[in-house]
Structure 1
């Protein structure tokens, strides 16, 4: 199959390109720089020079399927960055894809699209998304997902995959940040790390992407998860231990983390501070709220089953 991938320089997009090429697909990927060109080539893909602000049908070419993994995922940034990339960029990708005649659009969503500050417990895909969330990442990913699902039409199927807490080899964001903070003595738990979380190993997400090329119902969203749920402390400690790092016992209560995050955002919005804030409202919220999800729909509609367990994944990380 001819497949076009966005976000190939990132964790998810890069892993997708590597696996799809290995499976014999003709993979082309959005590239914004020579550095990205080199990374895509190393993965076995073919780079197409464009970005989410100028992508057009000519860039998509004769691709049959699109995997849209690119997004602005930073905890802090310019006020318009999340909308520019997550909403406007997704709208532009949908338009280019339809005009190019591709038949399937797979969007990498997130459970964060449901958050407006609450716990998520036993949640499935009937739970409403939060396009008006106070957290820019959550609101814009919810709006992007709605655009994708609304675009579904005869001859143009759109599917949203919603992983939670993506982890595993090749992680360029979460694990490196945890290790960096711990080694600098800056890591602290929120509520002792007691919040319960579903997780998604990168291999399981890539397996779901592969399934979504031909399975799943158009216009639908699917949670993609590992088996089981765990306390945040157990999961993050296991990841850090795979790198020889102990996260310690320092902790702050959730209400205080929320207050610190809000205070930091006010300070960084009004003062000429160059570094990112040490904590944001979104980071504090994610660390202190339960996120226990149900992936029965993906198992029924797509035949999804995790390929790797959390225990196997942690052992593999430690062995690298």
Structure 2
């Protein structure tokens, strides 16, 4: 039995990871920056340790005694200026690395993302040889790219570091992507950009967790790995199926891609120039997700980690329908 330290444990991926680690017999300590986060990770079976990513001393205390750490905490919302993204995703990651090293953690697995490669062009059958883009116009993408560089540069004989990159994480318990899609449809703000017929890869949350566990066991120190559900799917078909699990019918309205690009560029310029709160109606990350192919080659994870996605899309969609039905019936 191993003592494991987890950041982001009250979130979607981090919470499912805690459940898996506890089920596998590990003792889990989870960082919690609020009472609600502490209650959430405690419910999942972890010991909550109060602190945040800006407090190296608190992080070091939380990681004390752990042999393994998973860094799942990150700013993922569409709003926030560059300084906030850098403080949370880059500086915060550097603090976790420092604290893990000081606490004697043997291995640190960082939850990365394919967004670290995004800079405005489609990603077609990409693998781990494609460089990350800290110069991306999207602050989330740029900050996650910079954070990944921090993690991999820290790898040495005292602290082994590995990055695991799932793409488009989904499943029951999602508090971001699916709820936002439902809200957009309900408010009449949803449209298929350019028809939405491009291919995309996806990663069920249980498949992401499987990849994280394998990265901790078998990942080559200093390396990054992509994991997905195995095969790409047409973006429009997948989102339609996701919405259907919530008894929501996908609209048919289409927005020409060139108009969407103009709207995203203008919106980002206005919001950044005027330092407005919140996010523009259409930001760069949302535009790229909804209009550009993103297909991933996971041969490296298959070969080096022995990764095989344990969850199929049909299983995950059925779980979402069941979860929605139980909420409606309660």
Structure 1 match to 2:240 = 237
Structure 2 Cα separation of the partners of residues 240 and 134 of structure 1: 29
Deviation (angstroms), 1:155? 3.3
Q: TM-score, normalised by structure 1?
A: 0.97
1:147 aligns with 2:142: no
Say which SS state the counterpart of residue 222 (structure 1) adopts.
strand
Aligned position for 2:191: 188
Q: 1:270 to 1:148 in 2, by over 3 A?
A: closer
Partners of 2:137 and 2:247 in 1: CA distance: 36
**How big is each residue's C-alpha offset from its partner over 1:163-207, in whole Å with a ceiling of 9 and x where there is no partner?**
000000110000000011111221111111112101100011111
**Aligned residue number for residue 97 of structure 1:** 100
Residue pair 2:5, 2:62 contacting (<8 A) in 1 also: no
Partner of 1:45: 46
Q: Give the counterpart of 2:124 among 109, 121, 138.
A: 121
Post-superposition offset of 1:268 = 2.4
C-alpha displacement of 1:273 = 4.9
Structure 1 residues 87 and 242: alpha-carbon distance in aligned structure 2, compared to 1, 3 A threshold: same
Gaps of 5+ in 1: none
Which residue of the partner structure matches residue 16 of structure 1? 17
Runs of 4+ with deviation above 6 angstroms: none
Q: In 2, distance between residues paired with 1:119 and 1:60? A: 39
Number of aligned positions between the proteins:
320
Whether the aligned pair in 1 keeps the contact of 2:56 and 2:98 (CA below 8 Å) is no
Structure 2 unaligned residues grouped into runs of 5+:
324-330
- TM-score (normalizing by structure 2): 0.94
Output the CA distance in 2 between the equivalents of 1:255 and 1:117.
13
The answer on whether the counterparts of 2:169 and 2:202 sit within 8 Å (CA) in structure 1 is yes
For residues 6-39 of structure 1, what are the alpha-carbon distances to aligned partners after superposition, in whole Å with 9 as ceiling and x for unaligned? Answer: 0111111111111111221100111111111111
SS of the counterpart of 1:305? coil
Q: 1:123, 1:292 within 8 Å by CA — same for their partners in 2?
A: yes
Q: Distance in 2 between matches of 1:170 and 1:280?
A: 24
Q: Give the secondary-structure state (helix, strand or coil) at the position aligned to 2:217.
A: coil
Residue of structure 2 in register with 1:61 after alignment: 64
1:137 corresponds to which residue?
A: 140
Are residues 1:200 and 2:203 paired?
yes
